[in-house]
Amino acid sequence: MMFRKERGKKNATSLVKRLSRYTVVLRNEDGQSKPIMETLINGLAPLPSEARQSIIFDRGTEFSAWRRMRDGIGADSWFCDPQAPWQKGTVENTTNRLRRYLPRSTGPMTLTNRYLRSICNRLYATPRKCLGYRTPAEAFERNLPAIRNRLEWKEKSKTALQCEFTG
């Protein structure tokens, strides 16, 4: 999320899990790509690895160091096509929701991670029609076992194939 340039270089990056609408908003000290990637890695590291398998970025230069995500937390990085906002509709919708609390006139110097977390907590507690009127927190918790089962199944299948070829 960008703020008025006269307010300084600080900004905020938002990531949204498409299926659950789980949102992470992190403060950035400047718009340079490497520090932003480090902030994302540190912010996403506490999540279960199953919940951070891939990330889709828009085509902004702030994401040019995307390769660090694979090394940092093992996440694959993907990019939207140029001038294709429909490919990131969930992020656009979430940005509009965040603008209720963070208008462009907000001074990014005043943003604290604690305040950003409080905004995320409000978003987690808001039921959504697209989630069958569940909250993003409920949907995220509900989806985690399915993600884990899928990954375990892939690992078992991979092991079974390895046994067939080596046995």
Domain regions of the chain by residue span: 5-166
Residue 2: pLDDT band by 50, 70, 90 thresholds?
low
pLDDT at 25: 87
pLDDT at 166: 46
Residue 167: pLDDT band by 50, 70, 90 thresholds?
very low
Lowest mean pLDDT among 27-31, 70-74, 88-92, 121-125: 27-31
How much of the chain, in percent, has pLDDT values that exceed 90?
Answer: 17
Provide the CB-side half-sphere exposure for 18 (13 A, CA): 8
> What is the rounded distance in angstroms from the CA atom of residue 97 to the CA atom of residue 119?
10
DSSP type of residue 18: T
Mean pLDDT of 84-90: 82
pLDDT at 150: 53
pLDDT at 98: 92
Whether the predicted model's global pTM rises above the 0.75 cut = no
> What is the rounded distance in angstroms from the CA atom of residue 57 to the CA atom of residue 38?
15
CA angle at residue 88 from 50 to 31, to 5 degrees?
85
> What is the rounded distance in angstroms from the CA atom of residue 69 to the CA atom of residue 82?
21
> What is the rounded distance in angstroms from the CA atom of residue 128 to the CA atom of residue 21?
9
pLDDT at 64: 86
**Domain 5-166: which CATH class?**
alpha beta
Coil, strand, or helix at residue 24? strand
Which position has the higher pLDDT, 30 or 160?
A: 30
> What is the rounded distance in angstroms from the CA atom of residue 138 to the CA atom of residue 20?
8
The mean pLDDT of the chain is 80
How much of the chain, in percent, has pLDDT values that exceed 70?
Answer: 81
